[in-house]
Amino acid sequence: MTMHNDLPQSFDFIVVGAGSAGCVLANRLSADGRFRVCLIEAGSSDRTPRIKIPAGTLTLYKSRRFAYQFFSTPQEHLANRRIHVPRGKALGGSTTLNSMIYIRGDRTDYDHWQALGCTGWGWDSVLPEFRDLEHCHRHLDPAFHGFRGELDVTTPRDVNPLSRSFVQAGVSAGLPENSDFNGAQLEGVGIYDVTQRDGYRLSAYRAFVHPILNRPNFTMIADAQVRNLVLEAEVARGIVIVQGGETRLLRAEREIVLCAGAIGSPQILMASGIGRSEDLIAAGISPVHHLPGVGQNLQDHLDGLVTVRSTDHRTLGFSGRSLPAVLKSPLKFLFGRKGWLTTNYVEAGGFARTPLACDSVPDIQFHFVPGYRSPRGRLFEWGHGIAIHTCVLRPKSRGSIRLATDGSNRPVIDFSFASEPRDLEVLCEGIRYARRILEQAAFDGTRGTEIAPGKDVVSDGQILDYLRQSAATVFHPAGTCRMGVDEDAVVTPRLKLRGIEGLRIADASIMPTLISGNTSAPSMMIGAKAARMILEDA
């Protein structure tokens, strides 16, 4: 690689990572025109139908072009399996491949952050940020929703009838129907709201960055991998990026903000010599600033699957009976934004309390799939079926991110899933709950043979063994640059890195504890709140 001999480009603020938080942050920082803002993204263009059309999400998780294909270390408590961890690698980050579900979490999640000393992060403080970002297309309570923001939030365009059957079955199983998971109550079953516009995926990039590309004080740099931060006398002054085989230095006159996610942000810090000194030395990195919390506190929602075969051709699947609908789907989408191509595959779901829930807040989440989910991990299987994913909302287990010791600086991801046995016990109860929903009369015309766990897997021991062999991430990593007021915290409640000036972090990595639900919308809120803090300080 060669270093450009030109003088380094200079900006007031450099934002690293064009995902959920970074896109919002870059938008807000550049909005009033006072500051020169640069947004850096390692991924490239999102111009493909696979991203734009909702149903294309199924093709993205194993794509090497649009997703980082990370794998965890062997998980000791999950039969030593390596867990697949795909993360978005395009303009928009993981909002280019997620299921577009808009969930904020429970108010108690944020009030808990406040109780931990994170002043300004309680529910009453973060709700205005959520409202400001949202362009709600439903007639919902304005006390909870915004109607003028950039992020379109709406219902799926053409809900599969089996998704509505799931809601009916959930009610029969004792759960309330919930028409607004982002309103007064999280618990219940219903159709999820999604981040779509006119039937197309609306990523963070398309909502917050693409419309501002012509702002004279805003610069977007894609296909640029951040190699390391440039530190001078405990002040972050710039970043070194690699783009097209060449190395460039970008300088920040005011601040650098890492928004590279729960894997990317600690990886960049450690590659720059910031982290636990002994881990850095083991990776061949000279320690610059000993900050032992970097990469620690990794949390994710552990997920288990109940999948059922069916002959009901209304479900998403390939068969002779469904072939006409499959062949018509491109035309239905093109001319009316209807049909199979509109699905995000998890149109319905909900939140429930198992017998192990310690308070009145749900401890599991359901993602219902009106199609057959292969227990073998295949993207497509011939035939039909239905499935319920169940995840543990408030995991006790904590893992870590470290750097590889082979000199590559690649992240080594160890979730330590189920290191706290209670997580698997809650998930076991969640599997029982999912089965109870599938047993309801609403599925009488659809229900077939349970393939996984299987009808013979009934005792706690058998279900726990099944989960050890099959449970996986539901793609919500968080917590690896924890916000707090104690010595092990990585950032302060103002999101400033402890011990280094001119450097903040704003993404899911700052979450002290994982929120109860999908993490995209909360990450956008974090980006908006970070912008407000930075502009106040400026």
- 515 within a domain of the structure (yes/no): no
pLDDT at 339: 86
Q: Which amino acid is at 537?
A: D
Would residue 354 count as lying in a domain?
yes
Lowest-confidence pick of 146-150, 432-436, 443-447: 443-447
What is residue 111's predicted lDDT score, i.e. its pLDDT? 98
Q: What is the pLDDT of residue 359?
A: 86
Give the pLDDT of residue 209. Answer: 98
449 pLDDT above the threshold of 50: yes
Residue 379 has pLDDT above 90, yes or no: no
Instruction: Provide the pLDDT for residue 371.
Output: 87
Query: Domain with 376 in it: what CATH number?
Result: 3.30.410.40
pLDDT of residue 2: 31
- Residue 310 within any structural domain of the chain: yes
Detail the residues annotated as belonging to a binding site. Answer: 226
pLDDT attached to residue 318: 78
Contact 393, 103 (CB under 8 A): no
pLDDT at 358: 87
pLDDT of residue 316: 87
Q: pLDDT confidence of 8, banded at 50, 70, 90? A: low
Span of 6-10, 134-138, 158-162, 185-189 with lowest mean pLDDT: 6-10
CA distance 400 to 299: 8
96-109 burial code (b ≥16 CB/10 A, e <16): bbbbbbbbbbbbbb
Which of 112, 145, 301, 476 does the annotation list as catalytic?
A: 476
- Phi and psi at residue 443, to the nearest 5°: -105, 10
For residue 326, the model assigns a pLDDT of 81
Decide: helix, strand or coil at residue 290: strand
Helices (H), 288-392: 323-336
Residues 407-420 have a mean pLDDT of 97
Whether pLDDT at 381 is above 90: no
Res. 375 pLDDT band, cuts 50 70 90: confident
Residue 255 has pLDDT above 90, yes or no: yes
On whether residue 365 sits in a domain, the answer given is yes
User: Which residues define the annotated binding site for FAD?
Assistant: 226
Residue % of the chain over a pLDDT of 70: 98
What is the pLDDT of the chain when averaged over all its residues? 95
What's the Cα-to-Cα distance from 486 to each of 294, 489, 498, 529, rounded to whole Å? 13, 6, 10, 21
Q: How many domains does the chain have?
A: 1
Whether 492 maps to a domain, the answer reads no
DSSP string of 37-93, one letter each residue: EEEE-SSB---SHHHHSGGGGGGTTT-TTTEEEEEBPPBTTTTTBPPEEEEE-BTTG
Pairwise CA distance, residues 361 & 465, whole Å: 27
Give yes or no for residue 499 having a pLDDT over 60.
yes
Question: Domain containing 376: what range?
Answer: 157-191+302-392+418-470
Q: Token pair of 255, please?
A: 């601040």
pLDDT at 314 over 60: yes
> Residue 292 pLDDT more than 70?
yes
Evaluate whether residue 369 is within a structural domain. Answer: yes
Is 476 annotated as catalytic? yes
If you average pLDDT over residues 461-467, what whole number do you get? 98
pLDDT at 47 over 60: yes
Strands 302-310 and 348-352: unpaired
pLDDT at 374 over 80: no
Binned at pLDDT 50, 70 and 90, residue 317 comes out as confident
Residue 420 pLDDT greater than 50, yes or no: yes
Would 321 be classed as within a structural domain? yes
In a domain, 171, yes or no: yes
User: What would the mean pLDDT of 25-32 be, rounded to a whole number?
Assistant: 96
